[in-house]
Chains A and B, each alone.
Chain A
Amino acid sequence: MTDELPRTDAGEKAAGAAHPAAGGPLLRIEGVVKAFGTFRAVDGVSLDIKAGEFFALLGPSGCGKTTLLRMLAGFEAPDEGRILLGDKDIAQALPHERPINMMFQNYALFPHLSVRDNIAFGLKRANMARADIATRVAEMVALVKLEGLEKRKPDQLSGGQRQRVALARALARRPQLLLLDEPLAALDRKLRESTQAELMELQRRLGMTFIVVTHDQEEAMTMADRIGVMRSGKLVQVAGPRELYEAPRSRWIAEFVGDINLFDAESKLRDGHRLVIGTRDAGTLVVAEPRQPLGEAKFSVAIRPEKIKLSRRGPVSEAGHETAINRLDGVIADICYLGGTTTYKVKLDTGGTVQASVANSARLDVDAYSLNQHVVAWFTPDDCMVLPS
């Protein structure tokens, strides 16, 4: 019964039908600005969200992602710009008039109401018939696997169960758009991983549009189809997880999403389709020419730790790697064993340090390096990114 596609019955009555034009975005955010005093929390954000998309707004605390989400929910009104749901501008509509529901960070479950009444709260406000409410609540309870707990009060539930009630309550009205504010932040790690998978499965099954706000880049990468990275009220990059990780648009994004080794460039020389870049800390590096022309701005060479290979003598001779390989000599300065991988910090002879992340692919540590051991760190030009500073 939960496999049917949701219709936004509760919401449509309230806000008037929003019919996304065929192929057009479900939600269009246009030049939205929100200032608190002189502080521009959201500073000119434009973004399209497609129907059925799982979108993540990612950024450090204070970047404006939560303010943006609160404007979508209607708790804040934008100072400038439009928020179009379908073809209707909802920027100034009140929260209870929008066919959008939100799952709150600390769930905001009503402590005086039972699980059943929490889930039914939104349905009653939509003047649904009593029998229909009972059916829908039962459906939601089954959807989030809370059978048998309907009569409990929120403080009689575990953290994971509360999270499910919050989700069921937000889904019950079958909103056109579900907003999730740090949905997993309050869960412990193990539970977080299984809940991530459940959320993704649920979103796919219901074909619903999710916008999730998170400061956890792994969470965003795992769950979202597309990620919008925010910094200081601005959307700095919108991309899929892979593109965001492998082709970040700036040094800041590269550092925010995952770990990265960065070397400030001091000179550059063109060599065919490659660039030869002089750095202070890592000597001369050969990198693939970036897609965007570099211009005269300062830039850095960036390499992800897992792209850096370590060996005792030098690059293993693989086909195609003999030419233009980047080879850095150094000694192991620090070892951080993480189970699946080990992160080695290598102090380079040229002065800088690099981090290399090595998969622990064998159980016995015949391949492991020890402190102060001399190693060669090497990587290909294609593994390097050139990023404006």
Chain B
Amino acid sequence: MSARRIFARPARFAAIAPYVWMVLFFLVPFGFVLKISLSQTAIAQPPYEPVFDLTAGWTAIRAAFAALSIDNFKLLTSDDIYVYAYLRSLSVAVTATALLLLIGYPIAYGMARLPKRWQAVAMVLVIVPFWTSFLIRIYAWINILQHDGLLNQILLTLHLVSQPVVWLSTDTAMYVGIVYSYLPFMILPLYATLAKMEPALEEAASDLGAPPGAVFWLVTFPLSLPGVGAGVLLCFIPIVGEFVIPDLLAGSNSLMIGQTLWLEFFTNKDWPVASAAAIVLLAVLLLPLLLYERLQRRQLEER
């Protein structure tokens, strides 16, 4: 198909656009990262070798290919630091996503049951924090959670504690930060599915003898599963790779993979290992995505 025909048919061009996007901004950079992950560190600019030089001729390129190795991946599996970082990332992401679901679901459910005009207001309230810089909001939490911060002042004034509690640099602070930051991503897809659910379905269930709890578990929750899936993915995947929140709010004794990656890249200047870590992370994250995809396809086929 000639370029002229593509542009003559905007609809077709629109269909190709996402693929072009994927190739340009995902596959090509991914190729670079993959190549670096197979290289070795070097005190040079760029800090790895071999470097492909297309002007150096065929033999040079062949030699560069031969110099690639999977040593970095071997390192990742052999060194506990990386394995622990992956495990910690996954466990933090699982815990935080579970917390988000527990907190986000009732909020989304309540929003969906509000009168129509209040739903718009609630929606704005959920989105409003986005108008402030993410970093500023995390710094605000540091302010609240620090030794003489707002939280400790309130607790002391109410005589709930006799001494200031250490909040900062704990997992608690990190979870507070993560849940706070990601809550809208959990609420919005849940709200979207719950709001478009026909209210008559819940009425029909109670009409057929189901008490309120049964109505929820037999009808409301199963029908909101697409929203649950979307919310969980939207939160889980970025939390696994989260760097800023654990770096600012959590202690430094155990790192998440995002922090490890940052250290390798900027502090150790070990681009190849950082790249290998990034590629393994991608593989780990692809798994839940593929599962979700398959689940959705099965749901579609059932229709």
Whether A14 and B302, one on each chain, are in contact in the complex, defined by CB atoms closer than 8 angstroms, is no
Query: Does B10 sit at the interface, judged by CB under 8 A?
Result: no
Candidates A96, A109, A112; contact of B211 at CB < 8 Å:
A96
Query: Does B206 sit at the interface, judged by CB under 8 A?
Result: yes
Chain A, range 93-133, C-beta contacts under 8 Å to B: 94-96, 100-102, 104-106, 108-112, 121-122, 125-126
Query: Does B148 sit at the interface, judged by CB under 8 A?
Result: no
Whole-angstrom distance between the alpha carbons of A105 and B211 in the complex? 22
**Which residues of A lie under 8 Å from residue B200 when comparing CB positions?**
104-106, 108
Q: Mark B1-15, 1 if CB is under 8 A from A, else 0.
A: 000000000000000
Count chain B residues whose beta carbon lies closer than 8 angstroms to a beta carbon of A: 19
Query: Does A215 sit at the interface, judged by CB under 8 A?
Result: no
Name B299's closest neighbour in chain A (CB-CB): A112
Whole-angstrom distance between the alpha carbons of A47 and B200 in the complex? 26
Known: A96-B207, A125-B209. A108 touches B198 (CB 8 A): yes
Q: Mark A150-184, 1 if CB is under 8 A from B, else 0.
A: 00010110000000000001000100000000000
Whole-angstrom distance between the alpha carbons of A104 and B204 in the complex? 8
Whether A173 and B208, one on each chain, are in contact in the complex, defined by CB atoms closer than 8 angstroms, is yes
Name A95's closest neighbour in chain B (CB-CB): B206
Name A125's closest neighbour in chain B (CB-CB): B209
Whole-angstrom distance between the alpha carbons of A122 and B201 in the complex? 13
Whether B302 and A122, one on each chain, are in contact in the complex, defined by CB atoms closer than 8 angstroms, is no
Whether B223 and A95, one on each chain, are in contact in the complex, defined by CB atoms closer than 8 angstroms, is no
**Which residues of B lie under 8 Å from residue A153 when comparing CB positions?**
302-303
**Which residues of A lie under 8 Å from residue B211 when comparing CB positions?**
94, 96
Whether B223 and A122, one on each chain, are in contact in the complex, defined by CB atoms closer than 8 angstroms, is no
Whole-angstrom distance between the alpha carbons of A10 and B200 in the complex? 21
Whole-angstrom distance between the alpha carbons of A14 and B206 in the complex? 12
Chain B, range 196-225, C-beta contacts under 8 Å to A: 198, 200-201, 203-211, 214, 218-219, 222-223
Query: Does A73 sit at the interface, judged by CB under 8 A?
Result: yes
Whether A110 and B219, one on each chain, are in contact in the complex, defined by CB atoms closer than 8 angstroms, is yes
Candidates B203, B210, B218, B223; contact of A104 at CB < 8 Å:
B203
Whether A125 and B208, one on each chain, are in contact in the complex, defined by CB atoms closer than 8 angstroms, is yes
Whether A96 and B222, one on each chain, are in contact in the complex, defined by CB atoms closer than 8 angstroms, is no
Q: Which of A95, A102, A109 has the most CB of B within 10 A?
A: A95
Candidates A14, A102, A110; contact of B201 at CB < 8 Å:
A110
Whether A110 and B204, one on each chain, are in contact in the complex, defined by CB atoms closer than 8 angstroms, is yes
CB distance from A109 to the nearest CB of B (A): 8
Known: A153-B302, A153-B303, A155-B303. A108 touches B201 (CB 8 A): yes
Whole-angstrom distance between the alpha carbons of A373 and B220 in the complex? 65
Known: A104-B203, A108-B203, A156-B303. A126 touches B198 (CB 8 A): no
Whole-angstrom distance between the alpha carbons of A153 and B222 in the complex? 15
Count chain A residues whose beta carbon lies closer than 8 angstroms to a beta carbon of B: 28
Whole-angstrom distance between the alpha carbons of A355 and B75 in the complex? 95
Query: Does A75 sit at the interface, judged by CB under 8 A?
Result: yes
Known: A108-B198, A111-B223, A153-B302. A125 touches B214 (CB 8 A): yes
Whole-angstrom distance between the alpha carbons of A159 and B303 in the complex? 15
CB distance from A230 to the nearest CB of B (A): 21
Q: Mark B180-208, 1 if CB is under 8 A from A, else 0.
A: 00000000000000000010110111111
Whole-angstrom distance between the alpha carbons of A173 and B206 in the complex? 13
CB distance from B216 to the nearest CB of A (A): 13
Whole-angstrom distance between the alpha carbons of A309 and B39 in the complex? 101
Known: A106-B198, A125-B214, A156-B303. A96 touches B203 (CB 8 A): no
17 contacts between A and B (CB under 8 A): A10-B209, A73-B207, A74-B206, A74-B207, A96-B209, A104-B204, A105-B200, A108-B200, A108-B203, A108-B204, A110-B219, A112-B222, A121-B208, A121-B218, A153-B303, A156-B303, A169-B204
Q: Which residues of B contact A (CB under 8 A)?
A: 198, 200-201, 203-211, 214, 218-219, 222-223, 302-303
A-B interface, 3 closest residue pairs, ranked by CB to CB distance from nearest: A122-B208, A125-B209, A108-B200
In the complex, given contacts A102-B207, A111-B223, what are 7 additional A-B residue pairs having Cβ atoms less than 8 angstroms apart?
A95-B203, A96-B210, A110-B204, A111-B201, A112-B222, A112-B223, A125-B209
